[in-house]
Amino acid sequence: MMSLHQLRCFLATYELGSLTAAAEHLGYAQPSISEQIRTLEKSIDAKLFRRVGRGVVPTTVADSLRPHAERTLAAAAEAQKAIESVTAMESGTIRFGMFGTSRLYAGASLIADVLKRHPGVRVELIGQNSSDVQEQLRRGYIEAAMIAIPQVRSEGMTVTPVATDELVYVSADPEKLRSPVTAHRLGQAQIVMPETTWRDEDSTRLVLRKMLHEAGINPQTRIEVEDVETAVELVGMGFADTVIPKGAAQALLPRLAPKAGWVSLRPKQVDTFGIVHRSGATLSKAAELMIQLATARIQSIAEPV
């Protein structure tokens, strides 16, 4: 099978009419050029040049090969430029996994951070829930992600905690916000919870489930919804209370439930967010950039680890 190096040697010889001149042009010894031409002739089972005096003359086979060789080398050069453009983050797509409510912490602002530095790239933030993002990691569709750590099955994954965010009890009833909410009070409350599709794996629910089970209480909800915005709206309407990360409460209550407030749980409970990637993986510059920017963003809102 012919190689790019063989085609370069062929074209130099074709254009200069001399193996010696081709060697000088390419910076190789003349025997090396001769060997590449012989190997190429052997692979196509045809002669490319005839010796005439101190030079060579191309055969009709060489005349036919020349335009194809030129296009092949030009295409290879374009491919190299495209790769260099992507690795330099001048173009291409940057993919990064984020847990669903990350839009409230670092969604648009994170994309803005990337595009300010690299305006030619395309950005994809992937994931509705941390368990969904983890599956994308396992399939190799994304290199790295920031997700809620309680959900991570660490086998084959490298997990680095970067921030925690307190879980708070949100209610439109001021009486319920006078003191921290215990497991007993939480077990008696009328609760609406988001992430119903991932109810068995959602990190906030896992933390609350553990808190309630340790108190001998079986967790129950009155209303199940998919997104945290709907849960907060229902709280604002007075139909139920909820437990969500403080960052989400700070982002959503002024807009969706302005008369609601929040209070801590007792004992204090937190969601932990971390950077996750496949163990032993060599991360691209794009993945490293996203890790750096996402970490900075979430640590500016939540509590750094």
According to the model, what pLDDT value does residue 247 have? 92
Other Cβ atoms within 10 Å of 276 Cβ, number: 26
Q: Fill in the amino acid letter for 134.
A: Q
Q: Is the pLDDT of residue 234 over 60?
A: yes
pLDDT over 90, % of the chain: 64
Q: Is the pLDDT of residue 302 over 80?
A: yes
Other Cβ atoms within 10 Å of 138 Cβ, number: 14
The 10s digit of each residue's pLDDT in 204-224 is: 999 999 999 999 999 899 999
Q: Is the pLDDT of residue 184 over 90?
A: yes
Average pLDDT taken over every residue of the chain: 90
Residue of 132 and 4 predicted with greater confidence: 4
**Residue 274 bridge partners (DSSP):** 147, 161
Encoded tokens for 67? 């335009």
Q: In whole angstroms, how far apart are CA 58 and each of 11, 17, 51, 211? A: 10, 8, 9, 82
Instruction: Calculate helix-pair angle for 4-16, 30-44, nearest 10 degrees.
Output: 110
Model confidence at 134, pLDDT cuts 50, 70, 90, reads: confident
The whole-model pTM stands at 0.70
According to the model, what pLDDT value does residue 84 have? 67
According to the model, what pLDDT value does residue 141 have? 84
The 10s digit of each residue's pLDDT in 54-96 is: 899 999 999 999 999 999 998 888 787 667 666 666 667 888 9
According to the model, what pLDDT value does residue 90 have? 65
Euclidean distance between the first and final Cα of the chain, in Å?
55
Q: 170 in helix, strand or coil?
A: strand
Domains in the chain, CATH or no CATH each = 4-87 (1.10.10.10), 93-162+277-304 (3.40.190.10), 163-270 (3.40.190.10)
Q: How many helices (H) and strands (E) does the chain have?
A: 11, 13
According to the model, what pLDDT value does residue 137 have? 86
Encoded tokens for 285? 């510059």
Encoded tokens for 252? 């959503």
Pick from 91-95, 141-145, 254-258 the range whose average pLDDT is largest.
254-258
Q: Whose CA is closest to 144, among 128, 126, 122?
A: 126
- Decide: 57 and 17 in contact? Cβ < 8 Å: yes
Question: Alpha-carbon distance 276 to 159, whole Å?
Answer: 5
Model confidence at 101, pLDDT cuts 50, 70, 90, reads: confident
Question: Alpha-carbon distance 224 to 243, whole Å?
Answer: 12
**Residue 224 bridge partners (DSSP):** 193
Q: How many degrees, rounded to 5, is the angle at CA 10 between CA 7 and CA 14?
A: 140
**Residue 157 bridge partners (DSSP):** 278
Which stretches of 120-253 are assigned E, i.e. beta strand?
Answer: 122-126, 144-148, 157-171, 181-182, 192-193, 223-224, 242-245
